[in-house]
């Protein structure tokens, strides 16, 4: 009887020791995984944003930033109004598994969860208005659309922007003008 009791005590002691060690190892590891929580988001930039550069300098910087991001200008739409640049639509997400979440991150999806979203695309419109010879006001608009499937094919639906893409491009233009990469 004593051997069994000693053996059970030993197993219990080893089990407790392993439990404490495992708990000690697991606690710091889970503490380091944030899953996107606790991150401080930078505040959104004002849109329209005022730059202390002439309009021509700003438009050149915008063209360079768009080129760096592989966003193609729609020359026909851009030529309609001076100081306005419009990009061609870019598909930023594909697939029924991820499109809905990716679309929801940058826009408000109409219809909620009623649709199976299969693609998302956006186009940017940037309008530079000179305030005076040395200052320019830039307004950025993002036209975001999601595609869902019906029996007859895909249907593109406009989704109201949350300002994420607009803010990204404003930040990139500011960095470019400040000489940052």
Domain boundaries, the chain: 52-178
Please report the pLDDT score of residue 29 as a whole number: 45
d(CA 131, CA 154): 43
Please report the pLDDT score of residue 155 as a whole number: 87
Is residue 22's pLDDT more than 60? no
Name 143's bridge partners: 123
Q: Which tens digit of pLDDT belongs to each residue from 122-165?
A: 999 999 999 999 999 999 999 999 998 878 888 899 999 999 99
Max Cα-Cα span within the chain: 97
- With CA atoms as reference, report the closest residue to 119 among 106, 100, 104: 100
Fold exhibited by the domain 52-178: TATA-Binding Protein (3.30.310)
Q: Please state the rounded mean pLDDT for residues 26-46.
A: 59
Lowest mean pLDDT among 30-34, 55-59, 97-101, 124-128: 30-34
Q: Please state the rounded mean pLDDT for residues 88-103.
A: 87
Is residue 30's pLDDT more than 50? no
Position 52 confidence tier, pLDDT thresholds 50, 70, 90? very high
27-41, 102-116, 151-165: range with highest mean pLDDT: 151-165
Q: Is 100 helix (H, G, I), strand (E, B) or coil?
A: helix
Please report the pLDDT score of residue 101 as a whole number: 86
């Amino acid at each position: 009887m004593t051997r069994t009791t000693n053996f059970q005590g030993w197993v219990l002691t080893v089990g407790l020791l392993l439990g404490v060690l495992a708990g000690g190892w697991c606690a710091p590891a889970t503490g380091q995984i944030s899953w996107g929580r606790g991150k401080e988001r930078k505040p959104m930039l004002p849109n329209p944003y005022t730059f202390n550069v002439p309009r021509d300098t700003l438009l050149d910087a915008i063209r360079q930033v768009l080129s760096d991001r592989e966003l193609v200008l729609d020359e026909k739409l851009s030529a309609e109004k001076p100081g306005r640049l419009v990009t061609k639509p870019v598909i930023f997400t594909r697939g029924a598994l991820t499109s809905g979440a990716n679309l929801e991150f940058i826009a408000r999806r109409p219809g909620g969860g009623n649709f199976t979203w299969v693609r998302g695309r956006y186009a940017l419109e940037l309008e530079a208005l000179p305030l005076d010879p040395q200052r320019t006001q830039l307004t950025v608009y993002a036209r975001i659309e999601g595609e869902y499937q019906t029996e007859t094919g895909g249907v593109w639906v406009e989704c109201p922007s949350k300002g994420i893409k607009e803010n990204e491009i404003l930040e990139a233009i500011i960095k470019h003008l400040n000489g940052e990469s």
